[in-house]
Structure 1
Amino acid sequence: FLSSFTYDRAFRFDHTTDLDLNEVYAYCKVIFEDLQKFNEQSINILKHLYNKSNHPNVKGGELYIGYLTSCFITGKEVDAIGIFKSENKDTFLQVNTESDNVTLNFDKGINAKKLDKGAIILNIDKENGYKIYTIDTSSKKADEAKYWTENFLSVTDYVDNRYHTQK
């Protein structure tokens, strides 16, 4: 899943009044502080996504949440939380050989090289909303694109040297 990301634009969690009121930020903060609460907080993230997915153009799918240790992203070793949503399944050919027989089966599954939506939340800069990289390859319409970054994650640009250079 990580190969689908580009690391040219970073984000951070945001909230209009208080960063701790951003649901995904709060859940990730608990996970980073106590990994034993990973399962409980993953369920909270799932419920939050479900509640934000009420737009008729938002596709259903499968959600994967993982804790990534010792990631080398942008030259630093850091732990991260990965949130990955798969909306589209590919058809795969499964070849089985037994003795002199060859059996071909078709199966549906997720292509790890074609991630639909994802977020990598780095355990960096907690006080300012962490450093986050996102991907959304399946949204063609503006409402769909907003739902992942604005409605679900509620992120804004991460201001650093790269951000200033691009602006």
Structure 2
Amino acid sequence: MTGIDSVQLNQVIVHKVGNPSRAEELKLSLNPLSLNDEMVRKLLTKYFLGSFNENETYRFTHISDVNLNEVFNYVTQLFEKPNEFVETSAILAQFLYSKSTHVKVKEGELYVALFDDVPYDGDFVQAVGLFKSESKETFLKVFPHGKSWEVIQEEGVNINKLDKGCLVFRKHQADGYVVCIVDATNKQNDAQYWVDDFLQVTPYTDSYHNTDKYLGLCKQFITNEYAEKFEVSKSEQIDLLNRSMDYFKSKEEFNLQEFAEEVIHHQEVVDTFMDYKKNYEAAKNFTMEDEFSIHVAAVKKQQKSFKTVLKLDKNFHVYIHGRRDLMERGYDELTNKQYYKLYFDEES
């Protein structure tokens, strides 16, 4: 998240939340942190907010009424009754404890925080933060001992790696607020208790969401389904990945029919892609629009994960950026090996 220098960290409290299925305890704090040290305040603010992508937004939801979402209600209490901060934070910790029963859920510290002057959509707003640290790292501490130095081992939290986070902007309350999330641990479907069980959030269906999800869909389809259902080479997979990314980089608007005709081409592959899209939406529990404005930030994010490297044994890595027609694949009977021919104008 950018522009956090102006953020004011007003209150923060820490509770220890274990896993009840392993008989680990819930230990509640009676008082917020003192925050007398300005450097500690700044480090905490960086730790809490530095990992969020403010373009990727969610909202609290519920199967019948958002007002029945527990965390939505507790966050509203924190906004409206800051004098009851300690009591409300304890209820949040108890609720998280009740949702931490999966075998893969780790014990950790839950931080509940109140912020002012958080940048959002050209404005500065109040925000509530919920953060959980689960991973501990080993640090070496060097300290003076007489006329020498000694080293001891200590365990602590890496302030550059937020495990789990939820930042709730005080905007659009009737729609479930505007929420950003981080979930860097326990990413398996059976252990996503933070997003699904505790927070119960769903993405806002906006241009960023649609762009991000369509590119994710394309990558999964080409990497898995396309290679499985059709007899294609790795270079052909990479070519389709490149054409998909080029479409999103060169267009301002997405149109599903146009994408199918310009990028996928073959009707049999198009039909398979459409079926895969339906199953993808059902599995992810959201719907993607057939037409929307393409979001540049989402394209840049996804571009990092589009691997366009052709690995040939352990000897060669070929980076393919386009022009599949300038590659020729064959088999040499004399050496009993496959080969690629690459056609080019000049080398550099």
TM-score (norm: length of structure 2): 0.46
Q: How does 1:75-94 map to 2 (within 5 A)?
A: 75-94=122-141
> 1:143 aligned to 2:190?
yes
CA shift at 1:73, angstroms? 3.6
Q: 1:164 Cα shift?
A: 5.3
Q: Contact between 2:129 and 2:168, CA under 8 Å: does it hold in 1? A: yes
Aligned-partner Cα distance in 1 for 2:54–2:66: 24
Counterpart amino acid of 2:105?
V
Quote the offset at 1:162 in angstroms.
Answer: 3.6
> CA separation in 1, counterparts of 2:102 and 2:70?
19
**SS of residue matched to 2:50:** helix
Q: What pairs up with 1:14-163 in 2 under 5 angstroms?
A: 14-145=61-192, 147-163=193-209
1:110-164 deviations in Å (ceiling 9; x for gaps): 111111111101111111111010001112311122x111100000112445445
Structure 1 residue ranges without an equivalent (≥5): none
Distance 1:104 1:144 in 2: 38
Greater RCO (Cα-Cα under 8 Å, separation 6 or more): 1
User: What is the CA–CA distance in structure 1 between the aligned matches of 2:151 and 2:98, rounded to whole Å?
Assistant: 40
| 1:11 corresponding residue in structure 2 | 58
| Matched position secondary structure for 2:138 | strand
User: Which structure is larger by alpha-carbon Rg, 1 or 2?
Assistant: 2
Contact residue 62 and residue 69 of structure 2 kept, 8 A: yes
Matched residue pairs, number? 166
CA deviation after TM superposition for structure 1 residue 165, in Å? 5.5
Secondary structure of the residue aligned to 1:46 is helix
What is the root-mean-square deviation of aligned Cα atoms in Å?
Answer: 1.6
Distance 1:108 1:73 in 2: 35
> SS at 1:4's partner residue?
coil
- Paired with 1:3 and 1:19, the residues of 2 have a C-alpha distance of 28
Partners of 2:79 and 2:207 in 1: how far apart?
25
- Structure 1 match to 2:329: none
Q: Structure 1 99/73 Cα, relative in aligned 2: closer, same or farther at 3 Å?
A: farther
4+ residue runs over 3 A deviation: 159-167
Deviation by residue 1:1-56 (Cα, 9 ceiling, x = unmatched): 21122223110000111211100000000111121111111111101100011111
Task: Give 3-state SS (helix, strand or coil) of 2:130's partner.
Answer: strand
Question: Sequence identity, in percent?
Answer: 37
